[in-house]
Structure 1
């Protein structure tokens, strides 16, 4: 077995291990637990595509992990690392993630085993469209069946190709737009999708910081303001996470990229660092900051909250003891190995697990799916009504008090909600409610020693009840 396969297998095994660790704290019998764990449907296809003057045979997958709720939901990645074990593990995580944040989907995941950098845009389009036609043939895509989304190596562009191919093969499906999420706004996408994961990370950690009892255990004050934060990765998730923390009054003391890290106890401005990075090609040598040549050392600097938002397994058994943070928020998928997880828990560090914390993306994908099914933009029905109501309230206040509201106050009060306001509000409510559910299990269930186990228990309980109510196990 190759090292790639070995690492993917261990990723799958670690998901199963976390599941079993949590399953012991649930009331379900082995039959239901085995059904929750099982991948329901696995599609492995090989199809020919003409690339230049040659015919290439492309290998691709789509896994539907759970059918306890439909449709299944999960991204499609383009990577040479794609194999069945990896896609199965990622699909399982999607099932549990959706359950935790109360999004009524089963988990799914897809992948095409290619290096997308080797192909022209035209060739990538041919591969994507052919993959979509294979999904249609096998009934592995549709608004009520299985709804893909972007993942590593894909973007809104690929989602547009998928939508167009599906719609051309299903010309009478009035809900065709809902067959995929992560689309451009003009193709039925939803405003707020780009920053959804980073904003969800911020809402989740902010909620964790709101409990006085928990903060006292860590020796920290309540709230975000003044807390020292290090973010690893300045991609889409890392940048938006850093931006929201900065705006909330946290102090960004460290930023880490693949080619090095910078640290400044007085705080960094993320937009200034981004401008410096575009100008120089990297974040090193930012004015006033200390350079750290080895990015791994950036994780070990002094801070209150460490947010790995880039790669898998960056905190492992060899460096976990050197982590100085009091909280670790897993914005990336699997940034801690299971050994590191145990070490950090023993040290009393509060780890907020990825299975909950980076669920902002799938939550807003759910909002996009609902928008496509309802065929109406969020805010269209209520925006003017709200503004007219607020206008009447201001008139009543002014006539009753004899005082005039200032223009700035009037403008602020009169604004009705746009789509992005409603999406952000829905995401905030989701992240707050879900964290409280997880924390209740963590604090009240005897023997549960970490939030990750509590999150898995939360997921298993919800999925198990669904299976019981379906009457599959009389």
Structure 2
């Protein structure tokens, strides 16, 4: 960990931050200490070094795969490509995956992978070489497979890398009938599921929207019920932040600021996200957007007046040195670990509602679960029922027209008759998952008389993991 990170996180490593939040929750539970230690610990840490020939020279690549929990199998978690990848980071992200999956009832143990490279400086050919070699190393140690460990995209990776992983797995394990389910986040043509790209951002939207529907919570921070008119700041315009910004904008919320690494832009009347993205594509930066004011220091954007602040990029961006200057009423952790434990305490005393990462950004793994199920069933969503639903709707519509002695317009008929497509079913499942997860946390928070949502979410996750161990008969 860098000296800068040490100064803002205190004595805690990234993994220690998660352990501290875990320990806060454990105080509300009468669970044997040994079992709690087992739940906290990473079950398996695989650190590897392998050679790859790049530019005629052999380069040794450092990489990781961490399986945090085996209380349910397979393990599940993304693979990130970044020069900043280290063991502490991968262990932490694996632990977060365990708790996320437990909260939203996705039957996986948490895992995470990482390769220490900068994909921006490498050719496609070399990235492919490294990806395929990494996959073969995972296969050798039995760290990948439909029922063992299922990777997914993360920072620096996407559909392309997932398709290479699948192809490598299939070439080494020919005839594996469920090979498609060895990895998720694949292209649609290779068994991917529609709606995966925007899933995490859409999950963030559903979670914050549900909170804003709660009259009691909105009264506590002096806001009206609903999203319309809420002023929102989003830090990070990657896959998560971009899609979240679009969904909030479409819902009637006002995006007053967007922040990226090079700086931020601000307009108190609101920013048109689609126009900002076009400007970004044309210029390579969000700065100097014609309808906004530049903010040179991106961290300063976090401290602007707003109703909802959504850090959707890096960990530890809100810390003890800036927490007192945060003016948002609600913070939605779209990124992993954007608030340090010290900052958490400061923000709680200020009465700010924090919607934690272990719930709010679970949309990605939820839809990855849907893709995994699709691959195991070998049938795309909607194939069995879409036409049947349309035919039933047509018959019902005919009865209504006969009884009412009126004709329904062609446009209205199209809306009524349409059967559910795969993306409709995926988004419906994600919406139900996020709403259900929110209310489970909220109900538990009230029943245990817990002060904040984060601790309640950890209590919920721990309870579910303990229940899984007891069902397995491991700890009678």
TM superposition score category, shorter chain reference: over 0.9
Q: Quick one: which of 410, 419, 422 aligns to 1:419?
A: 422
Q: Quick one: which of 273, 276, 282 aligns to 2:276?
A: 273
Mapped partners of 2:318, 2:385: distance in 1: 47
Counting matched residue pairs gives 473
Shift of 1:83: 2.2
Q: Quick one: which of 451, 454, 460 aligns to 1:452?
A: 454
**Alpha carbons of 1:117 and 1:286: their partners in 2 closer, same or farther (altered >3 Å)?**
closer
Mapped partners of 1:112, 1:286: distance in 2: 35
Say yes or no: does 1:430 pair with 2:430.
no
Which residue in the other structure is 1:468 paired with? 470
Mapped partners of 1:257, 1:78: distance in 2: 19
1:281-320 alignment, distance < 5 Å: 281-320=284-323
Shift of 1:459: 0.4
Shift of 1:334: 1.2
Which residue in the other structure is 2:122 paired with? 119
Q: Which moves more between the two structures, 71-80 or 418-427?
A: 71-80
**Alpha carbons of 1:110 and 1:53: their partners in 2 closer, same or farther (altered >3 Å)?**
same
Say yes or no: does 1:110 pair with 2:110.
no
CA distances 1:188-241 after superposition (whole Å, capped 9, x unpaired): 100001100110000000011111111111111111111111111122111111
CA distances 1:361-398 after superposition (whole Å, capped 9, x unpaired): 00000000000000011011111111111111110110
Mapped partners of 2:288, 2:157: distance in 1: 32
Say yes or no: does 1:149 pair with 2:152.
yes
CA distances 1:150-192 after superposition (whole Å, capped 9, x unpaired): 1112111111111011111111210000000010111110000
Equivalent residues of 2:213, 2:226 under 8 A apart: yes
**Alpha carbons of 1:5 and 1:111: their partners in 2 closer, same or farther (altered >3 Å)?**
farther
Mapped partners of 1:172, 1:277: distance in 2: 45
Shift of 1:443: 2.1
CA distances 1:383-419 after superposition (whole Å, capped 9, x unpaired): 1111111111110110000111111111111111100
Equivalent residues of 2:20, 2:341 under 8 A apart: no
Equivalent residues of 2:96, 2:358 under 8 A apart: yes
Equivalent residues of 1:88, 1:109 under 8 A apart: yes
Q: Which moves more between the two structures, 361-370 or 244-253?
A: 244-253
Which residue in the other structure is 2:413 paired with? 410
Compute the RMSD of aligned alpha carbons.
Answer: 1.6
Which residue in the other structure is 2:92 paired with? 89
Which residue in the other structure is 1:166 paired with? 169
Q: Quick one: which of 338, 343, 348 aligns to 2:341?
A: 338
Q: Secondary structure at the match of 1:299?
A: helix
CA distances 1:244-294 after superposition (whole Å, capped 9, x unpaired): 111111111222222222222222111112122223332233334233222
Equivalent residues of 2:212, 2:226 under 8 A apart: yes
Say yes or no: does 1:383 pair with 2:411.
no
Return 5+ residue gaps in structure 1 as ranges: none
Equivalent residues of 1:149, 1:181 under 8 A apart: yes
CA distances 1:430-471 after superposition (whole Å, capped 9, x unpaired): 00000001111222213x211111111110000011111211
1:20-35 alignment, distance < 5 Å: 20-35=23-38
Q: Which moves more between the two structures, 448-457 or 5-14?
A: 5-14
Mapped partners of 1:392, 1:100: distance in 2: 41
Q: Quick one: which of 388, 397, 401 aligns to 1:398?
A: 401
Equivalent residues of 1:4, 1:81 under 8 A apart: no
Mapped partners of 1:242, 1:396: distance in 2: 43
1:10-29 alignment, distance < 5 Å: 10-29=13-32
Equivalent residues of 1:9, 1:86 under 8 A apart: no
Shift of 1:27: 2.4
Mapped partners of 1:218, 1:355: distance in 2: 22
Equivalent residues of 1:201, 1:360 under 8 A apart: yes
Shift of 1:60: 1.6
Say yes or no: does 1:326 pair with 2:326.
no
Mapped partners of 1:372, 1:259: distance in 2: 40
Q: Secondary structure at the match of 1:224?
A: coil
1:187-336 alignment, distance < 5 Å: 187-336=190-339
**Alpha carbons of 1:46 and 1:293: their partners in 2 closer, same or farther (altered >3 Å)?**
closer
Q: Which moves more between the two structures, 8-17 or 322-331?
A: 8-17
Mapped partners of 1:41, 1:5: distance in 2: 26
Mapped partners of 2:194, 2:57: distance in 1: 41
Mapped partners of 2:79, 2:379: distance in 1: 26
Mapped partners of 1:472, 1:214: distance in 2: 40
Equivalent residues of 1:32, 1:467 under 8 A apart: no
